[in-house]
Amino acid sequence: MLYTITLNPAVDKVIEIAGTLEREQNNKIKKVLYDIGGKGCHVSAVFSALGLPNIATGFTGGRNGIKLVELMEEKNIKCEFINAGSTNTRECTILVDESNLGSYMVTESGELPGEKAYSELILKIQKEINENDIAALSGSPATGFPKEKYCEIVKTLKNTGAKVFIDARDEYLKEVINLEPFFIKPNKYEFQVLTGKKLEKTADFIEEIQRLNEKIEIVAVSLGEEGSIVGVKDRGVYGFIPPKIDVVSETGCGDIFVGGVISKYYLKKDIEEIFRFATAISASKAAHFLSSDFSLDQTSKLLPLVKIKKYK
Ligand code: TA6
């Protein structure tokens, strides 16, 4: 089974602005759509689109929690979220204008889950996840969520024997490194924060990635339009470069990339096939308006256009 754990999911309000978003102007809205939000939820969308068995868990609450589950179920995602108590799942806003310069993401910090909900999640992991499973812990917890609890979740996941994939940032990512998850996917900024270095040259990334590969099997650093640099323990370091496409919104590309990686890993594909697919499906997401939308047909067409480099 493929599990996603999203501690602070969202309902994404995706707004299309006519023209270019300007300060001190009346920016007119062309359309508003609601979408599943939160990085783990987007990972689940890839699993379900590919027909892979999966369960989405984490914390939800209130009216937005109900709305999120409805939106997830429309995508055939099986949801087993834990009720976080009286809290309301956050709403995040994505602004997409017509400048073709990328979207704006404005996120609420979310509300902290109660103690009862936290213990329920730990128990659920212990009881239901096992060594044949893969678990993706993706996205930021609510502001103020203790690092110790985050680490306890990761330790509990690791103790089940499942392969643990992490998409985290800042202090959570830093803390989690010593717990040796199977996979991490920081973006360029997150990787610079993690290493404490202003990395620019590919060689600098490679050096840091290889250092991390001593503890972590797969380290994938996503670089937006430039693709990714991926280090695999005892195998080497690769570059995966997507073809040029007309970008509509890059929000969600990293999440869909992670979904692509896990799906192909689950299907026991080799490293080149795994990341070629992840790169192509992530590029397809960029051509779509909603943060969880992509096309599998377009992905198939993009696959042969992904360039692969073997750096080390
Ligand atoms: O990557 C896109 C996204 O998952 C959005 O759906 C959005 O709600 C946001 O990221 C949440 O990011 P965060 O780091 O706060 O968990």
pLDDT tens, position by position, 168-219: 999 999 999 999 999 999 999 999 999 999 998 999 999 999 999 999 999 9
d(CA 102, ligand 1 centre) in Å? 15
pLDDT at 167 over 90: yes
d(CA 37, ligand 1 centre) in Å? 6
CB atoms under 10 Å from CB of 109, counted, come to 13
The pTM assigned to this predicted structure is: 0.97
pLDDT at 85: 81
Residue 113 structure tokens:
């889950």
- Confidence category of residue 86, pLDDT binned at 50, 70, 90: confident
Residue 259 structure tokens:
């979904």
**What torsion do the CA atoms of 56, 102, 241, 226 make, to the nearest 10 degrees?**
-120
DSSP state letter for 136: E
Cβ of 12 closer than 6 Å to ligand 1, yes or no, is yes
Q: Identify which has the larger pLDDT, 35 or 87.
A: 35
pLDDT tens, position by position, 222-268: 999 999 999 999 999 999 999 999 999 999 999 999 999 999 999 99
Interval 42-67 mean pLDDT: 98
> Using CA atoms, how far apart are residues 70 and 60, in angstroms rounded to an integer?
12
Cβ of 163 closer than 6 Å to ligand 1, yes or no, is no
pLDDT tens, position by position, 113-123: 999 999 999 99
Pocket test for ligand 1, best of 12, 15, 39 (most atoms within 8 A of CB): 39
d(CA 84, ligand 1 centre) in Å? 19
Q: What is the mean pLDDT of the chain?
A: 97
Cβ of 133 closer than 6 Å to ligand 1, yes or no, is no
Cβ of 140 closer than 6 Å to ligand 1, yes or no, is yes
% helix, strand, coil for the chain, step of 5: 40, 25, 35
DSSP state letter for 139: S
Residue 280 structure tokens:
């192509």
d(CA 278, ligand 1 centre) in Å? 18
pLDDT at 106 over 90: yes
